Amino acid sequence: MSAISEVFSSLRNQKRRALMPFLTAGDPDLAFTAKVMQALAEEGCSLLEIGIPYSDPIADGPVIQASYTRALAAGIRLNDIFQMFSQTLPTLSIPVVAMVSYAIVHRHRVADFVNRARDCGLAGLIVPDLPVEECEALRERCLASGLDLIQLVTPTTPQERAITIAQRTTGFLYYVSVAGITGE
C-alpha cells in the first residue's frame, strides 16, 4: 500500500477527513517553502501538495499564477526544487505530492523525472494537463517506481469518463469542486 493510500486508510478508520494544503515551491524562496512544509506537517496536515512553478499554467487562477511567476523570476528551477525535496521530505511525517505540468515532465524525460521524484521522496504526482487517455507511459513508470499518479475529475466530467479516470488513478481521486480555474 502506498504512503498516500495508508494515510487515507488511517483517516477512514478514524472517521476523519484529510487536510492537504497547496504551496508553490520557491515562493518566496525554497528555504521558506521547506519551513512551511515542516510547520504544516507538524501541525497535523494529512498530506501536502507542492506546485512546481510553470510559466503557462492552464488551470490556475491569478493567485497561483502570480506565485509561479515570483518563483521563476527568483531563479527557482526544477533541480533546485528536487534538491530541497531531497533535504526536506525525509524529515516529514506525511506524504508530499507534486503538481506539475506535463511539459516539465516531458522536457526532463518521463523516466528521469519519475526517478528523481521517487529518489527525493515524493509520494505521488498530479499532472493536470495530461489526459487519462495519454497517461499510460507515465502511469506505468510511476507504478514501477512506487509513486501514485493522481488523476482529476471535475463537476463537468461525463460519468463514463469519470469512471475511467477513477479506475486509472492511484492514491486518491482529485475532485476539482468547481469548474474553471483554481487559486482565485
What letters, b where the CB count within 10 A reaches 16 and e where it falls short, cover 150-160? Answer: bbbbeeebeee
Task: Kindly state the helix (H) or strand (E) to which residue 84 belongs, with its residue range.
Answer: helix 78-88
Distance of CA 155 to the CA centre of its chain: 20
Q: Are 7 and 59 in contact (CB under 8 A)?
A: no
Check 49, 119, 129, 184 and give the catalytic one. 49
Phi, psi of 150 (to 5 degrees): -90, 125
Check 42, 43, 56, 60 and give the catalytic one. 60
Query: Which residues lie across from 97 on neighbouring strands?
Result: 49, 124
Tell me the C-alpha distance between 150 and 131, whole Å: 11
Tell me the C-alpha distance between 94 and 45, whole Å: 8
Q: Does 49 qualify as catalytic in the annotation?
A: yes
Q: What angle do CA 165, 169, 174 make, to 5 degrees?
A: 80
Output the CA–CA distances (angstroms, integers) from residue 177 to 22, 109, 153, in the order listed.
15, 31, 9
Could you give the residue numbers annotated as active site? 49, 60
